[in-house]
Amino acid sequence: MSKSTDIINEDSKYFANPGRINYFPLAISHGYGATLVDVDGKEYIDLLSSASSQNVGHAPEPVTEAIKNQVDQFIHYTPAYMYQEPLVKLGKKLCEISPGDYEKRVLFGLSGSDANDGVVKLARAYTGRPYIISFVNAYHGSTYGALSMSAISLNMRKKYGPMLPGFYHIPFPDNYRGLYGAPTSNTVDEYLAPLKEMFEKYVPAEEVACIMIETIQGDGGLLEPVEGYFEALQSLCKEHGILLAVDDIQQGLGRTGTWSSVTHYNIEPDIITFGKSLAGGLPMSAIIGRAEIMDYLEAPAHLFTTSANPVSCEAALATLSMIEDQNLLQASADKGDYVRQRMDNWTEKYDIVGDVRGKGLSIGIDIVSDKQSKSRNNDAALKICNRCFEEGIVIIAVAGNVLRFQPPLVISYEQLDYALDVLERTIEAYMNDELNDYDTAGQGW
């Protein structure tokens, strides 16, 4: 038996079901750059970046050094009671790189989920209004507040409801499939209609605290919005005194080629959340927003004992410096363009590639059964993932059928070429009926 199999068998005795989506038998030994090495010594190119939490790659020296240095000083003293310089430096940096031309404040957490919960508290408190609106297909996290904002999987609803009261969901302005799958219905007005109807009939706009968006819906299938929608949404928010919040946990920090994915749109959110890659993979999230909103509540309204620990703060400072020093924002944009030069032809070349979309190195490849109906081909997507895995490429599917292409921003051009070769070969193999032997039952979301 291989070492990987040993670990995986042992894992199943202790690690409980809700904590892992079943994909590949990969037990990691170590990693470097965009490469993962399993405990049996096999190397993989990582196109998943640990769910976009390794934007600067695996174990980069600036980050590991920063962690080691801080660990020798002190590992933690809670910011709930004391002060420390790494927190101050990171708070300042986050205020500088986040969007919004206003005075800001920051709060720290341990996961994207708790940051989004914080947004709910702050928005409700500041506006004095109860209701929160977000989007169908959104994934905002796993705590009850973030869950209540999410609407992506029945496994995140079944058996442990009810969710928190006062949450509503509207259709995401999906530029590819259109409103309820009708490709001819995808104008800004058509997408705003369900919200306007809500305001007219069952949710008073003056009682809505905030609308939460992902600029590109990540786990929802790397969905890009209809042009002009967010701008129109922000106008509506302003008209009704509703805060606009952006969850930039997956799309932020270089993933789309900019510090914040908000930069691609002409909007200025009142509040934004970062997480995932922020501390190079150590647990850390941040809420950054207008000072008057962020300071509105009083302690201990939103604090966590181990949040903003100096080890994570130093890791985050090193991560952000690395993004700057190695020009990783530009690298993400350039590598994204490079990939797209080849990938954008796939919609013509391959019957099962319905759409290729995204920004920078945040790319979705939409695998369909039929280009006309755009019906999702989950089976093909999973089989492609399985064959890629055998060929040393880690890639998964989101929304059932959308291949998630999100490598670390430090991936080399040679690795990109290899990954694209494997993907093309695998898509062809599927179309030639060569992937029928994979059993995908129980795999994926």
- For ligand PLP, the binding residue among 218, 289, 364, 407 (CB under 6 A) is 218
Rg for the chain (alpha carbons), in Å? 22
Beta partners for residue 370, in sequence order: 375
Q: What's the token pair of residue 246? A: 């952006």
Beta partners for residue 37, in sequence order: 30, 43
**Smallest distance from ligand PLP to CB 124, Å:** 19
Site residues for ligand PLP, 148-207, by CB under 6 A, read none
Q: In this structure, are residues 220 and 214 in contact, taking their beta carbons and an 8 Å threshold?
A: yes
**Smallest distance from ligand PLP to CB 112, Å:** 2
33 Cβ contact partners less than 8 Å away, ≥ 6 residues apart: 57, 58, 60, 408, 410, 411, 412
Of the two residues 253 and 427, which places its CB atom closer to ligand PLP in the complex? 253
CB atoms within 10 A of CB 348: 8
Distance CA 57, CA 53 (A): 9
Site residues for ligand PLP, 29-58, by CB under 6 A, read 51
DSSP 256: T
Helices marked H in 262-309:
291-294
Select from 17-25, 40-48, 109-117, 337-345 the region that touches ligand PLP (CB under 6 A).
109-117
Q: In this structure, are residues 261 and 360 in contact, taking their beta carbons and an 8 Å threshold?
A: no
Distance CA 415, CA 435 (A): 24
Q: From start to end of 371-432, where are the E strands? A: 375-376, 393-394, 396-398, 402-405
| Residue 117 lies near ligand PLP (rule: CB under 6 A) | no
Of the two residues 33 and 109, which places its CB atom closer to ligand PLP in the complex? 109
Of the two residues 247 and 314, which places its CB atom closer to ligand PLP in the complex? 247
Distance CA 142, CA 128 (A): 25
**Smallest distance from ligand PLP to CB 42, Å:** 26
| Residue 112 lies near ligand PLP (rule: CB under 6 A) | yes
Quick one: which of 140, 100, 135, 93 has its CA closest to 116?
Answer: 140
Quick one: which of 354, 388, 348 has its CA closest to 370?
Answer: 354
Select from 27-35, 135-143, 177-185, 324-332 the region that touches ligand PLP (CB under 6 A).
135-143
Select from 106-114, 158-166, 350-358, 428-436 the region that touches ligand PLP (CB under 6 A).
106-114
Distance CA 37, CA 54 (A): 15
CB atoms within 10 A of CB 20: 10
Q: Site map for ligand PLP, 232-271, x if CB under 6 A?
A: ---------------x-xx---------------------
**Smallest distance from ligand PLP to CB 395, Å:** 16
Of the two residues 172 and 430, which places its CB atom closer to ligand PLP in the complex? 172
**Smallest distance from ligand PLP to CB 280, Å:** 14
Select from 6-14, 108-116, 347-355, 426-434 the region that touches ligand PLP (CB under 6 A).
108-116
Of the two residues 23 and 139, which places its CB atom closer to ligand PLP in the complex? 139
Total residues binding ligand PLP (CB under 6 A): 16
Of the two residues 249 and 271, which places its CB atom closer to ligand PLP in the complex? 249
| Residue 275 lies near ligand PLP (rule: CB under 6 A) | yes
Residue nearest to ligand PLP (CB): 112
**Smallest distance from ligand PLP to CB 12, Å:** 22
Distance CA 255, CA 251 (A): 5
The terminus-to-terminus CA distance of the chain in angstroms comes to 28
| Residue 214 lies near ligand PLP (rule: CB under 6 A) | yes
**Residue in the structure block whose two tokens are 């797209």:** 340
Which DSSP helix (H) or strand (E) runs through 324? Answer: helix 310-325
**Smallest distance from ligand PLP to CB 218, Å:** 5
Distance CA 375, CA 366 (A): 10
Select from 65-73, 211-219, 293-301, 377-385 the region that touches ligand PLP (CB under 6 A).
211-219
Select from 71-79, 110-118, 254-262, 289-297 the region that touches ligand PLP (CB under 6 A).
110-118
- For ligand PLP, the binding residue among 111, 277, 332, 362 (CB under 6 A) is 111
Give the residues lining the site for ligand PLP (CB under 6 A): 51, 111-113, 116, 139-142, 214, 218-219, 247, 249-250, 275
